[in-house]
Structure 1
């Protein structure tokens, strides 16, 4: 494997490039949630169109992550990241000027391809550039930027929509991508793992299986198992993913080191983050609709409402990175996720508590995430061998994306069904499908009672959704405590594990 660890100040400039590359992905997805009401009106998008605008990206992104991670290890992580940034920037420019839902969905698909090329490379380059002593600090900074994008995206998106139009949430990606590309070419050395024989069958099976799985997750809440497309997609997912696992365990040159899951820290940290993604699935989508449709906030005010969450995330991210090394990653992940679950429960009663409760809930949620995320990422990525950093990162990203897709589908279905159930049978046709359509009918007919009824129904549906989210995040906390192990505190682990290396049977030997 090529060694790229830097010992001069340039390594911190490289970290800035990695943070920019991650930021462009996170900000785009989060800012888009604020733009949903505006683009719904301007493009005449239906509820199904909105779902595909949001999830077409996730579908492609999840399907290509494993192959992209393997490509980055084989052909060069910097090269693959730059190609992804270029594609993401071009597709964002196309999305800016889309004038129909179909065009926007097509642009989002291309952005998903670019994102899949970018994401595994950022964390894998970080692992190879920084040595073990500085890696926790670098990961904390990388996590802080990711969290800043997560909660700052709606703020930026709200401001851009108020000043310009919803297309600006895509246009902002272009200069960020350009700067990241130039900086990568100037500052970043190339790194790659040892050359392995290509695994085209593994790449095909993983892509087909993940796309079919996410498709099934999206389709199941709407159609159940009675619909032919759902059954077909589920069958394809089971066959392809089973075939992928069997093939990867038998082939002499596997694309993905599935043996990583034998390591408790990798499996516990990764699966905990997956459950968190399930809980987080509908957070911003639900809240931005509640703030704008329910509370009458402007896009800018809705974005500004997330500032407490952003501040808490940044402050407690630093606390988590510092104390995680002292009290152990397992305790820090468990504590942080428990606090985050409390934040979701507070959100479930926010409609009754008013803006003060909403602000407090977002602060608690940000604090919990800030404590948990750096520790979880440090624990699981600390078990990935540097020569497999790209595909190891992609493996973690992939199962988290599956969790995010499951969260959006399940929580979105719960929100929609609870909203429809809370609306009276006498409501006009279409008004029971979503709060956006109900308020549209109310505006057209001048029916103020319908608007108030829709807002009450949405608040009730939101409360149920966030209770489910709290349960998912609390389950993640329990899983982390039961499965993860802290090397310093566990005398049964081998010396290799205590030194920070993966156990000998954790990954297949490099060929």
Structure 2
């Protein structure tokens, strides 16, 4: 791996790396609060509403590892900047979309650009700060990225109500320009191993993920035994097996399966997948409950979830300081358990006439839990990785989490429609309650998986044996 030696002020380095990560994570759910408005303005179906989010998430997930490979080969900062340019251009297309189909297509392009932002921002950050300051920098980065996901519904609601849904995409244009200026001024270039691009692996992986999610999304409408659903599920499963087989034999794999020999990396990715399925699927259901059933405006719905959305801003940076003292397992397990309890509280309380303050304890538990998970999970992923593998490792984790977002929305929406849910004030609540409790159950299982992360003692014992392990990323 090659890097330059110039050091910029720590705060500006963190800002330059975090703003694009915030922008990419924000757009995961920024349209969530605008979904009822989009359904009316673009005459969109429930399935199309899912694809407004899933089109972005799947493209994002499918292209992350290729973006990492491009960064390793041609320069991470250069690829990072290219991703921001594409993301910003696609945001303009989203803002100008005249139909639901056009918006889905633009969201896919936006996801491709966003794929370069999350993993490369973390890899670039880790090479632009000193080893001593790296845990703090990662903690702040995790807080900012987590905040992007969390405040997406609030920002989307405020913009939609104050202006128009088109403006939620126009906002990315000035942010993208500022991000490029900061990157060029304060981040240095770095590269990983220059390897051959695994285009076969990319094609197999994209097709596998799309097939599986498509099958789940279409299941209730088309029938779980219909030809198109079975083709998606079975075909996706076969392609996933083919992808893993190809990655195991190709010289320069898109996804180095050897990384999964590290216990911390493997368990962290399992937690990332399951955590995303449970929490973001539930967010998709809950935001619409506040508008469709309780008649709240987009801004009111976003403001009501602030006890949830603002908590990561304060909690996540603190975990970067606490993690070296207690280890990642304690924080991640506590965070996922807190989210499981929060969703269970909300699910049990859900009722058309439920008082807002009855939901607040559940919102707080979910928000604190998200803040406890983001940074420690990133630390666990990179704990025993060589510097040369940082981008691949963080890229793999980002891919897994994005797949989790898409699967979560697809699975919990399938649960919602499967029990008779409809986008009407009288046909929404009972099905939403079932879907949210499913999310709580998934997070409860995730809590048990998180306990398999290495203990603080095991992390310390395992670090010296790792090749070129970075002590700054191993909780002390």
Question: What TM-score, normalized by structure 1, do the two folds share?
Answer: 0.86
Which residue matches 1:272?
Answer: 271
Alignment of 1:106-505 (within 5 A): 106-352=105-351, 353-420=354-421, 434-435=422-423, 438=424, 451=425, 454=426, 457-482=427-452, 484-489=453-458, 493=462, 495-497=464-466, 500-501=469-470
Q: Post-superposition shift, 1:6? A: 5.7
Max Rg structure: 1
Runs of 4+ residues over 6 Å off in structure 1? none
Deviations 1:406-441 (A, max 9, x none): 211110111123344xxxxxxxxxxxxx22xx4xxx
Distance 2:87 2:443 in 1: 31
Distance 1:8 1:468 in 2: 46
Consecutive unaligned residues in structure 2, runs of 5 or more: 472-476
> Kindly tell me: are residues 176 and 231 of structure 1, through their superposed partners in 2, closer, same or farther at Cα, counting changes over 3 Å?
same
Which residue matches 1:30?
Answer: 29
Deviations 1:454-490 (A, max 9, x none): 1xx42222221111111111111111112x1135356
> Kindly tell me: are residues 351 and 239 of structure 1, through their superposed partners in 2, closer, same or farther at Cα, counting changes over 3 Å?
closer
Q: Does the aligned pair in 2 maintain the 1:313–1:366 contact within 8 Å? A: yes
> Kindly tell me: are residues 180 and 494 of structure 1, through their superposed partners in 2, closer, same or farther at Cα, counting changes over 3 Å?
closer
Q: Post-superposition shift, 1:89? A: 0.8
**May I ask how many residue pairs the two structures share in their alignment?**
469
SS in 1 for 2:116: helix
Task: Give the CA RMSD over aligned residues.
Answer: 2.2
Consecutive unaligned residues in structure 1, runs of 5 or more: 421-433, 439-450, 503-511
Alignment of 1:2-81 (within 5 A): 2-4=2-4, 7-9=7-9, 11-81=10-80
Q: Post-superposition shift, 1:118? A: 2.1
Q: Does the aligned pair in 2 maintain the 1:65–1:397 contact within 8 Å? A: yes
Q: Does the aligned pair in 2 maintain the 1:249–1:258 contact within 8 Å? A: yes
Q: Post-superposition shift, 1:491? A: 7.4
| Higher mean C-alpha displacement, 308-317 vs 403-412 | 308-317
| Higher mean C-alpha displacement, 141-150 vs 344-353 | 344-353
Distance 2:212 2:457 in 1: 38
> Kindly tell me: are residues 418 and 259 of structure 1, through their superposed partners in 2, closer, same or farther at Cα, counting changes over 3 Å?
same
SS in 2 for 1:488: helix
